[in-house]
Amino acid sequence: MSHVAYIGIGANLGDRRAHIRHACDLLRQTDGILSLKLSSLHETEPVGGPPGQGAYLNAAARIETLLDARMLLQTLLDVEARLGRQRSEKWGPRVIDLDLLLFDDEVIDTPGLTVPHPRMHERRFVLEPLAEIAADAIHPAAGMTIQELLGRLSGGEGMKGGCTGGAVRKPE
Protein backbone atom coordinates (compact mmCIF):
# COMPACT_ATOMS: atom_id res chain seq x y z
CA MET A 1 0.00 0.00 0.00
CA SER A 2 1.37 3.41 -0.91
CA HIS A 3 1.30 6.50 1.26
CA VAL A 4 1.40 10.21 0.49
CA ALA A 5 3.77 12.30 2.57
CA TYR A 6 4.78 15.93 2.43
CA ILE A 7 8.21 17.14 3.44
CA GLY A 8 9.68 20.57 4.05
CA ILE A 9 13.09 21.20 2.55
CA GLY A 10 15.52 23.97 3.44
CA ALA A 11 19.16 24.92 3.00
CA ASN A 12 21.26 27.97 3.80
CA LEU A 13 24.87 26.83 3.41
CA GLY A 14 26.88 26.48 0.25
CA ASP A 15 25.13 25.96 -3.07
CA ARG A 16 21.61 25.83 -1.65
CA ARG A 17 19.93 24.95 -4.97
CA ALA A 18 22.37 22.13 -5.60
CA HIS A 19 21.88 20.74 -2.08
CA ILE A 20 18.10 20.72 -2.51
CA ARG A 21 18.37 19.18 -5.97
CA HIS A 22 20.80 16.52 -4.70
CA ALA A 23 18.53 15.67 -1.73
CA CYS A 24 15.57 15.24 -4.09
CA ASP A 25 17.64 13.08 -6.44
CA LEU A 26 18.72 10.85 -3.53
CA LEU A 27 15.11 10.53 -2.38
CA ARG A 28 13.94 9.65 -5.90
CA GLN A 29 16.60 6.91 -6.03
CA THR A 30 15.48 5.39 -2.71
CA ASP A 31 13.75 2.01 -2.81
CA GLY A 32 10.18 2.50 -1.66
CA ILE A 33 9.85 6.08 -2.89
CA LEU A 34 7.66 5.98 -5.97
CA SER A 35 7.50 9.67 -6.90
CA LEU A 36 8.51 13.12 -5.72
CA LYS A 37 6.98 16.42 -6.81
CA LEU A 38 8.80 19.60 -5.73
CA SER A 39 7.36 23.09 -5.23
CA SER A 40 9.20 26.16 -6.39
CA LEU A 41 12.03 27.48 -4.21
CA HIS A 42 11.36 30.34 -1.80
CA GLU A 43 14.19 32.49 -0.46
CA THR A 44 13.59 33.55 3.13
CA GLU A 45 15.44 35.14 6.00
CA PRO A 46 16.22 32.91 9.01
CA VAL A 47 13.72 32.79 11.88
CA GLY A 48 15.27 32.05 15.25
CA GLY A 49 18.67 30.51 15.64
CA PRO A 50 22.02 32.25 15.86
CA PRO A 51 22.44 35.73 14.38
CA GLY A 52 24.25 36.27 11.12
CA GLN A 53 23.22 33.14 9.24
CA GLY A 54 22.47 33.41 5.55
CA ALA A 55 19.10 33.33 3.83
CA TYR A 56 17.38 30.00 3.30
CA LEU A 57 15.97 28.40 0.22
CA ASN A 58 12.81 26.53 1.23
CA ALA A 59 10.57 24.19 -0.71
CA ALA A 60 8.04 21.44 -0.12
CA ALA A 61 7.74 18.05 -1.76
CA ARG A 62 4.94 15.56 -2.20
CA ILE A 63 6.23 12.01 -1.94
CA GLU A 64 4.39 8.84 -2.81
CA THR A 65 6.04 6.03 -0.88
CA LEU A 66 5.77 2.44 0.23
CA LEU A 67 7.70 3.31 3.40
CA ASP A 68 5.92 3.80 6.69
CA ALA A 69 6.35 7.10 8.54
CA ARG A 70 9.24 5.97 10.74
CA MET A 71 11.11 4.45 7.78
CA LEU A 72 10.56 7.62 5.77
CA LEU A 73 11.87 9.76 8.63
CA GLN A 74 14.98 7.56 8.82
CA THR A 75 15.43 7.96 5.06
CA LEU A 76 15.23 11.75 5.42
CA LEU A 77 17.83 11.68 8.21
CA ASP A 78 20.08 9.41 6.11
CA VAL A 79 19.89 11.82 3.15
CA GLU A 80 20.71 14.75 5.44
CA ALA A 81 23.75 12.85 6.75
CA ARG A 82 24.91 11.94 3.23
CA LEU A 83 24.82 15.63 2.30
CA GLY A 84 26.87 16.61 5.35
CA ARG A 85 24.19 17.85 7.75
CA GLN A 86 25.57 18.30 11.24
CA ARG A 87 23.25 18.91 14.18
CA SER A 88 25.48 21.06 16.37
CA GLU A 89 23.25 24.05 17.10
CA LYS A 90 19.47 24.32 17.42
CA TRP A 91 18.06 26.16 14.40
CA GLY A 92 21.61 26.80 13.21
CA PRO A 93 22.72 27.00 9.61
CA ARG A 94 22.49 23.80 7.64
CA VAL A 95 23.49 22.27 4.34
CA ILE A 96 20.07 20.61 4.11
CA ASP A 97 17.03 20.14 6.32
CA LEU A 98 14.32 17.60 5.52
CA ASP A 99 11.24 17.68 7.76
CA LEU A 100 8.37 15.23 7.60
CA LEU A 101 5.32 17.52 7.63
CA LEU A 102 2.36 15.23 6.89
CA PHE A 103 1.97 11.49 6.38
CA ASP A 104 -1.37 10.44 4.89
CA ASP A 105 -4.00 11.67 7.35
CA GLU A 106 -2.15 10.27 10.34
CA VAL A 107 -1.49 11.93 13.67
CA ILE A 108 1.63 10.39 15.21
CA ASP A 109 3.16 11.34 18.55
CA THR A 110 5.84 8.88 19.55
CA PRO A 111 9.36 9.27 20.88
CA GLY A 112 11.39 10.59 17.95
CA LEU A 113 8.48 11.26 15.58
CA THR A 114 5.68 13.81 15.60
CA VAL A 115 3.36 14.15 12.60
CA PRO A 116 1.96 16.57 11.60
CA HIS A 117 5.05 18.65 12.16
CA PRO A 118 4.34 20.46 15.43
CA ARG A 119 5.05 24.00 14.17
CA MET A 120 4.21 23.83 10.48
CA HIS A 121 0.87 25.61 10.92
CA GLU A 122 2.61 28.74 12.21
CA ARG A 123 5.40 28.96 9.62
CA ARG A 124 4.76 30.78 6.38
CA PHE A 125 8.05 29.48 4.96
CA VAL A 126 6.61 25.97 5.26
CA LEU A 127 3.01 26.69 4.27
CA GLU A 128 3.65 28.82 1.17
CA PRO A 129 5.60 26.19 -0.78
CA LEU A 130 3.35 23.44 0.58
CA ALA A 131 0.24 25.30 -0.61
CA GLU A 132 1.68 25.32 -4.16
CA ILE A 133 1.55 21.53 -4.34
CA ALA A 134 -1.08 20.63 -1.72
CA ALA A 135 -3.39 23.58 -1.08
CA ASP A 136 -6.33 21.24 -0.38
CA ALA A 137 -4.41 18.77 1.80
CA ILE A 138 -5.90 18.56 5.27
CA HIS A 139 -3.86 19.08 8.42
CA PRO A 140 -5.32 16.15 10.37
CA ALA A 141 -4.91 17.71 13.82
CA ALA A 142 -6.23 21.16 12.85
CA GLY A 143 -8.92 19.91 10.47
CA MET A 144 -8.05 22.69 8.03
CA THR A 145 -6.54 22.77 4.55
CA ILE A 146 -3.03 24.03 4.00
CA GLN A 147 -4.50 27.03 2.17
CA GLU A 148 -6.75 27.82 5.15
CA LEU A 149 -3.80 27.58 7.55
CA LEU A 150 -1.77 29.87 5.33
CA GLY A 151 -4.64 32.37 5.20
CA ARG A 152 -4.78 32.46 9.00
CA LEU A 153 -1.17 33.62 9.38
CA SER A 154 -0.73 37.30 10.04
CA GLY A 155 1.45 39.33 7.71
CA GLY A 156 4.26 39.38 10.28
CA GLU A 157 6.08 36.10 10.91
CA GLY A 158 6.86 34.27 7.84
CA MET A 159 6.69 36.95 5.19
CA LYS A 160 10.42 36.58 5.53
CA GLY A 161 9.99 32.86 6.36
CA GLY A 162 13.13 31.28 7.57
CA CYS A 163 15.01 28.47 9.00
CA THR A 164 13.42 25.11 8.72
CA GLY A 165 14.56 24.22 12.20
CA GLY A 166 12.34 22.09 14.34
CA ALA A 167 12.40 18.84 12.44
CA VAL A 168 10.01 16.12 13.45
CA ARG A 169 12.87 14.51 15.30
CA LYS A 170 12.41 15.15 18.99
CA PRO A 171 15.45 16.05 21.11
CA GLU A 172 17.29 13.01 22.39
Query: Which residues have a catalytic role annotated?
Result: 85, 94, 97, 99
Contact in structure between 76 and 164 (CB atoms under 8 Å) = no
What CA–CA distances, in Å, run from 108 to 32, 102, 105, 140, 172?
Answer: 20, 10, 10, 10, 17
User: What does the DSSP 8-state code read for residue 122?
Assistant: G
51 CB-contact burial (10 Å; exposed 0-12 / middle 13-18 / buried 19+): exposed
* Beta carbons within 10 angstroms of residue 105's beta carbon: 11
Could you give the CA distance from residue 29 to residue 22 in angstroms, rounded to a whole number? 11
